[in-house]
A and B are shown apart, each in its own frame.
Chain A
Amino acid sequence: MSIKMNLTRMAMLAFMILFLVGCSPASSPTSQPIVQTNLPPIATEVTSLKPTEINSSQQSEQVTTIKIGALHPVTGDAASGGKSMRNALTFAIDLINKEGGIKSLNGAQIELVYGDTQTKPDVGVSEVERLAQKEGVLAIVGAYNSSVTKPATQAAERLGLPFLIDMAASDEITERGYKWIFRLCPKASWYARDQVLFVQYLNKDMGLKVENVALLHEDTDWGMSVADGQKKYLEEAGYKVAIDVTYPANAADLSTQVAKVKSVNPDVVLTSTYLNDAVLIAKEREKLGMSKVPFIDSAGGTIVSGFIESLGNTAEGLFSVLEFSPLASGYPSQVNEEFHKVYGEDFTGNSVYSYVAGWVLADALERAGSTDKEAIRNALASTSMPHSTKMILPQDVLTFDQTGQNPNASMYIVQVQGGKLIPVYPAKYAAAKVILP
């Protein structure tokens, strides 16, 4: 009997190990395929470049290809986000090359040299050095994670290499007085700024009475810093924070916290959530009959795929800040459609900046008409791109200020309408009107 028992137990163990092993790639689907996809884009790039190289070398002996570094995390924690950013940048560069490359440099083609930060700060730095010194790139686009981008831009500054940040939101990155660093995406604190701008829009243009604003957010570093920003911008706009309710991010029940919010009869509620707590808040909001009060999320749980599907009608009417929406009217949705045809995915709130980064660099190279880094840097600094198929961000003109920041960077406010996240603000780029119950 003991042999039988041992056998059963061993079978159990084997079963368990099999499942654990079998499951681990499934739970981190990004780690393995990336290694393979590392190579093909580079390979196709090289082969597609060969004929043009010959062509242009007949015309002039100057510049045939311009190397640009694409530095994103394609392995490690942030791999899935990094991969779509690499795709979007590659998509833009392919378009630029197809349109005839950099005309002021005799149609020189841009060659992307890929780097991988592995989501590690030290690797980010060594990749910048490798790209600059071994590969001889003229500029770098990157690098997604603020923790990686901070030291990586420091290295670029030291090397005198133009570094165009597509996404990395930490405020201080462009507040260090650097000369070679430019950033397309909004600062982290601007999420709160755009929420408050939207509150003002609801108040002044939509006729919503706004006296009391309530804050409801999880209490880790992220939720707390967003709330600090919200308080600052609300105060500047002259609105009163009636209550600031915090909760543990992994709370099993939020009925009391939402009841606390309700107790001050807020006109607007600003939230910062992860996914499960966002679900609980939506449920409690419905239960406590607060469906008439606008809840505006900070690009937290509300915009995670699956949130609306899982909540159905309960999610209707919720708002959130969002960097990009494939449903935005005009150029963004057109370009996104083309991108989707090639890569089978939509632009994300991160990768849309990578796409624009490609065009911003091409524009700077065109105006610089030179492969001198200083000239490219100066051209970048005087960038002025209007809203177009190249510059699909929700702003009229893309420029850089003294610090290298894109000062007009703004985000959409989306509302759940008919089970979709519909951009409703800024009004100029909205796909539909705000619905106030």
Chain B
Amino acid sequence: MDITFSLPLLLQSVVSGVFLGGVFALIATGLTLIWGVMKIINFAHGEFLMVGLYLVYFLVTKLGINPYLTIPINFIFLFLIGALIFRVNIQPVLKDPVMNQILLTVGLMLVLQNLALLFFSATPLTYDNIYNRITYSIGPIVFPLANVLAFIGSLIVILLLGLFLNRTDTGRAIRAASQNSEAATLMGIDVSRTYLIAFGIGSGCVGIAASLMITFYYVSPTVGGFLGLIAFIIVVLGGMGNIAGALIGGLIIGLGETVGAALLPGSFSRLLTFLIFIFVLLFRPEGILRRGE
């Protein structure tokens, strides 16, 4: 139970936290987009990530595709899965009580987890790759290439998503539908198609996250559990439905995890993350960034 403190370690944990936070933010962005547009909390979001990770794993190990080239394939695949699940499962409950929606997405989560257990067993899989071995260092601080690329990739995707929502017609339609679906319908926007696209993009985000994470992470049927939980915390922390909030929330939680681990032993390392969360909820219950109207 040594409580150690050293400056290089602290700096390292800050660097690791920022890198980790970028990927967390990308996962949370998908979730916050779906919430922001159709007010559905997708409890199966982490499991979509799990599906994405399995897909990337098989693309890179069986077909030998470079992990970073799987980004478009994985985005499209997860987009289609998201769209399909939206059409079949989510759309029918859009107007139903919240409890029904929660039961539905929790059910989806269980189904996906158990399907993965059935097909892939509980053994975690990892991808043995060169990116995980290349590191750059400045003094005592290590910058692993895999994490740097994942961080940069996540930032670019979040930025592109922001541009898409603000600058394109489809993006504007999504925002319009999220602000007032009836008014949007009156303006000639096909709201159900817009929802479908938003849900697809939200799911596609975790597909990209999966491609970026496979080099340094593992895949198992339950991998979505913790990452899904983290994504919820980030969404609530940043302000539900707010993409910039998800980015800030992601960085804060990423830093909380690693700096917490640097300063505190064992399970106490979680303390920092959840303390931050509780304090933000106390003083800004609506999240760090209020949802833009």
Contact = CB atoms under 8 A, between A and B. Distances in A.
A244 interface: yes
Contacts of A276: 124, 218, 220
B257 A286 contact: no
Nearest to A249: B267
A334 interface: no
A244 B13 contact: no
Given A279-B218, A310-B126, A287 B132 contact: yes
Contact of A314 (B115, B128, B226): B128
Interface stretch (A8-16, A93-101, A120-128, A173-181): A8-16
A26 B118 CA distance: 6
A253 B270 CA distance: 11
Contact of A5 (B92, B110, B220): B92
Nearest to A259: B12
Given A12-B104, A16-B110, A287-B146, A26 B117 contact: yes
Contact of B20 (A9, A248, A255, A307): A255
Contact of B123 (A286, A306, A313): A306
A256 B111 contact: no
Interface stretch (B2-10, B165-173, B196-204): B2-10
A252 interface: yes
Given A246-B266, A260-B262, A289 B115 contact: no
A243 interface: yes
A313 to B, nearest CB: 5
B145 to A, nearest CB: 9
Interface string B221-241: 000001100100000000000
B258 interface: yes
A312 B230 contact: no
B261 A250 contact: no
Contact of B128 (A254, A256, A312): A312
B257 A252 contact: yes
Given A20-B114, A256-B258, A306-B123, A219 B220 contact: no
Dominant SS among interface residues on chain A: helix
B216 interface: yes
Contacts of A287: 132-133, 135, 142, 144, 146, 216
A311 interface: yes
Interface in A284-317: 286-289, 304-307, 309-314
A286 B132 contact: yes
A260 B9 contact: yes
A310 B123 contact: yes
B126 A311 contact: yes
Contacts of A23: 114-115, 117-118
A310 B218 contact: yes
B124 to A, nearest CB: 5
A243 B266 contact: no
Interface string B105-144: 0010011001101100101111010001101000000101
Contact of B267 (A19, A219, A259, A283): A219
A287 B148 CA distance: 12
B88 interface: yes
Interface in B236-269: 257-259, 261-262, 265-267, 269
Contacts of A309: 123
Given A12-B88, A248-B267, A19 B123 contact: no
Contacts of B12: 256, 259
Most buried by B among A19, A26, A307, A310: A310
B111 A243 contact: no
A258 to B, nearest CB: 10
Nearest to B264: A246
Contacts of B126: 279, 283, 310-312, 314
A291 B219 CA distance: 23
A375 to B, nearest CB: 48
A256 B270 contact: no
Interface in B46-105: 88-89, 92-93, 104
Sort A-B residue pairs by CB-CB distance and give the 5 closest, nearest first.
Answer: A312-B128, A306-B123, A246-B266, A219-B266, A23-B114
Interface of A: 5, 8-9, 12-13, 15-16, 19-20, 23, 26-27, 219, 243-248, 250-257, 259-260, 263, 275-276, 279-280, 283, 286-289, 304-307, 309-314
Given A246-B266, A255-B16, 14 more contacts: A8-B88, A12-B88, A13-B107, A247-B266, A253-B20, A254-B261, A255-B258, A256-B12, A256-B269, A260-B262, A283-B217, A283-B218, A287-B135, A314-B126
